[in-house]
Structures are given as C-alpha cells and as structure tokens.
Amino acid sequence: MSNVHVEAKTEPKVKSKTTKALPGPEAAFEAFNFKVPTLEVPATFREFAEKSIAQARDTYAKMKSAAEDASDMVEDTYETARAGVFNLKALDAVKTNSDASFALARDLFGAKTFAEVIELQTAYARKQFDSMTAQVREFQELTQKIVSDTTKPVTAQVEKTFSGFKAA
C-alpha cells in the first residue's frame, strides 16, 4: 500500500460580519403613526364657517373691484393732467412774448434818435408788464381748473370706495 498522503487544503476561517439592516425612514416616524379620532363637526359650526368663507369672498371681490377702480381713476387723472391745455397756453405765451421782442427789435433798428429808442423801450416794458400780468392770471386760473378737474375723479372714487365698505 502506498503511503499517499493527501493533504486537504482548508481556507482559514474568517468570521463574516453580518450587518444589521438599518431601519427605513418609515421606522423613524412610527411614533407619529396613530389613528386620529374622527370628529363630527356640528352643523352650526359648519354653517358659521361657510358664512365666514362667503363673507371673505365678498370682501375680496369688493377690494378687488375697489383696486381696479382706483387703478382706472389714476389712469384717468393722469390723462386729464396730461391733456396739454397748460402746455398749449405756455406755448401761446412764449409766442406772444417773442413776437413782441422781435417787434421791438425791428422798431429799434428803425429809430433815428436816442430819445426815440428810450421811448420805444419804455413802451415795450410797459406793454410786457401788462402782458405778463395777464398771462400769470391766466396760468393761475388754468392751474386751479386743472387741479380741480384732476382731483374730481380721485374724490369721487374715494367716496365710492368708502360708501361700499360702509354698506357691507
């Protein structure tokens, strides 16, 4: 018999570590998983809540309408102020004054004596003073009219808005 020696190779035994499965996100919130008791809402409370919601919707609608009206009023006021009446009056005054200045220059070139120049200049100054006084008066009246026309829509809108809230 032959002496055959068979050696069995054995692997060194390594302890395998078993990792514990970490709890999922559901586990972290298990404390919050509880049944909520169902409550019957009394009919009076439900009616009160429904009325409150309806009233809030009505108030919102009124506020929205008031905001839209105020926006329209601002646009109208801007258009009234921008109408250009004041600008046209100012251009008219500038034209009148420049025509008078050119007329004076033309007359001064035609003057023969120094006394005639002084007389023309004095007449021009008197005429311009009267003209400027009249122009300032017209500008004051026009400004008052523009301010009045511009504030009418604002006043009417404010009164309308507040009367709408008083009725509610």
Confidence grade of residue 31 (pLDDT, cut at 50, 70, 90)? low
Q: Check pLDDT > 90 for residue 128.
A: yes
Cα angle: 55, vertex 49, 43; to 5 degrees: 135
State both tokens at 35.
């049944």
Picking from 151, 130, 133, 144, the residue whose alpha carbon sits closest to that of residue 78 is 151
More confident residue, 50 or 153: 50
Q: Check pLDDT > 50 for residue 1.
A: no
Predicted pLDDT of residue 80 = 63
Across 39-43, 100-104, 122-126, least confident range: 39-43
Non-local CB neighbours of 66 within 8 Å, separated by 6+ positions? 161, 164
pLDDT digits (tens, 9 = 90+) for 70-111: 777 777 766 666 667 777 888 888 889 889 988 888 888 888
pLDDT digits (tens, 9 = 90+) for 102-112: 888 888 888 88
Sign of the C-alpha dihedral, residues 53, 55, 56, 62? Answer: positive
Q: What single DSSP character describes residue 154?
A: H
* Distance between CA atoms of residues 22 and 146, nearest Å: 80
More confident residue, 29 or 2: 29
Mean pLDDT, the chain, integer: 76
Q: Are the CB atoms for 73 and 153 separated by under 8 Å? A: yes
Provide the CB-side half-sphere exposure for 1 (13 A, CA).
Answer: 2
* Distance between CA atoms of residues 128 and 99, nearest Å: 11
Confidence grade of residue 149 (pLDDT, cut at 50, 70, 90)? confident
Annotated domain spans of the chain: 50-167
Q: Are the CB atoms for 76 and 153 separated by under 8 Å? A: yes
More confident residue, 147 or 115: 115
pTM, full prediction: 0.46
* Distance between CA atoms of residues 111 and 98, nearest Å: 20
Sign of the C-alpha dihedral, residues 150, 156, 161, 166? Answer: positive
